[in-house]
Amino acid sequence: MKAGLFILMFLGIASQAVADPEADRVAFEKFYKERLPGIEIAAHKDGAYALDAAKREQWLEIEDFPPYEIAVDEGESLFSVAFANGKSYTDCFANGGMGIKQTYPYFDLDRGEVITLELAINNCRDANDEAQLDYMGEEMGNISAYMAFTSRGNKFDIKVPEEAVEAYEQGKRFYYERRGQLDFACSSCHMDIVGGLLRAEILSASIGHATHWPTYRFKWEQIGGIQRRFLQCNEQVGAESLAQQSKAYRNLEYFLTYMNNGMELNGPASRR
């Protein structure tokens, strides 16, 4: 009941004349502090493994020899390969692409849209006359895994300038709106019944959802990005799944990552 009241109150912010993303973030964090009082906010970067000691121990054993290790190594090699014109990914990104994931996604004022890391990788390829990568393909996963690995330990610092408020609000609405045959919202699982079980899976808190991507999921048998998880969630509730890097998914990622501002990145990671 408390979760439902919080969500109604939280959604009410969107109807106010002036949106306040930081007030949203503070309220979001406060909700999880009160709902899961025995768990530090920082611990949620480990997702459901912050909520179950036995499963956490099993996960830590897996992390001794992580299944994403090869992806990181291959991503480093791919990142270093020069394009046909002699340039490379390092020419497209600040700091040569190293240690920058904490600033993604961001709102591009010139383009008037949210730019995720994966979209930026393909934009780089476009700018250098290279074919785009499949957003759910192995090469994209490996490159983004390597870039995430170089950003471990950094903390999210996502900005929402005035021009980006509409995109932020659209992402926020997507998170709270119910959809599909099950009439579920993202918040239905990750706020209303957070810490509970659904199909034998512990439902994690959204306060840490953006920290550990891309992730090697054993169900996928490969590494993938957060938007692939969005797609899977939509399918599970019987809702229409959207294209990877669609405007709606990018705005959702923008909102969700802003809610994780100040949290430490620990991707890539492994998940069941």
Active site members? 233
Count Cα neighbours of 230 within 13 Å in the Cβ-side half-sphere: 26
Q: Are 247 and 181 within 8 A, CB to CB?
A: no
User: Using CB atoms within 10 A of its CB, is residue 62 exposed (0-12), middle (13-18) or buried (19+)?
Assistant: middle
Between vectors from CA 131 to CA 225 and to CA 164, what angle results, nearest 5°? 50
